[in-house]
Amino acid sequence: MLEVEVLTPEGEVFRGEVRQLSTRTEVGEIGILANHAPVLGALQPTTLRLHVSDSETRRYAQSHGWLQVFDNVARVLVEEAVPPEDLDAGALKEELSDAERRVAESEAGTAEWSRAVKDKQRAETFLSIAQG
């Protein structure tokens, strides 16, 4: 079993043992099992899956963040980890169109632009999770 901590700035979301953790780094999908080699990765917005047992999988909509795997402990540091049923599709649609507008308005390459791109990515992913 792999020990997992999911931490956000606003508190702990999950702590416990799981069979497998799957998420997505910038390089691609990643699945972590027990005794995985040490990893440090930047996470992209996606569905974070924690396979607690054969019959139980916990899902969270996960925003940008970081993953550290060391000594059989996986620590997921993300800004948000929200159960899919708590997402508000209507609000996300607004956030998405706001982000798209900002991407279009800002000059490519500026810090303002990359911020808008990140927001868009998050809103898109969360929206698709919310819509199942």
Partner 1 sequence: MASQKEVKNRIASIKNIQKITRAMEMVAAARLRRAEQRIEDLRPYSEGMRKLTRIASAHAGGVPRVPVLVERQNVQTVGLVLVTGDRGLAGAFNSNIIREGMRSADRVRGEGAGPVFSVVGKKGVSAMTFRKQELVGEYTGFTDRPSFADARRIGEELVARYVDEEVDRVELIYNRFVSPLTQHVWRQTLLPLQQAEVVGEGAEEEEEATAEDESGGSQGRSEWFFEPEAEELLGRLIPEYVTISVYRALLESSASELGARMTAMRNAAENAESINDELTLEMNRARQAEITQEILEVVAGAEALS
Phi, psi of 115, deg, nearest 5 = -65, -45
Task: Pick the binder of partner 1 from 29, 70, 89, 91 (CB under 8 A).
Answer: 70
Identified binder of partner 1 from the candidate list 1, 14, 41, 51, rule CB under 8 A: 41
The whole-angstrom distance between residue 72's C-alpha and the CA centroid of its chain comes to 20
CA distance 53 to 38: 23
Number of residues written out for the chain: 132
Q: Report CA torsion sign: 124, 40, 35, 12.
A: negative
- Given the rule CB under 8 A, which of 5-13, 83-91, 97-105, 124-132 is the region that contacts partner 1? 5-13
Q: Is 77 in the site for partner 1 (CB under 8 A)?
A: yes
Which residues bind to partner 1, rule: CB under 8 A? Answer: 5, 7-12, 25-27, 30, 37-42, 66, 68, 70-71, 75, 77, 79-80, 110-112, 115
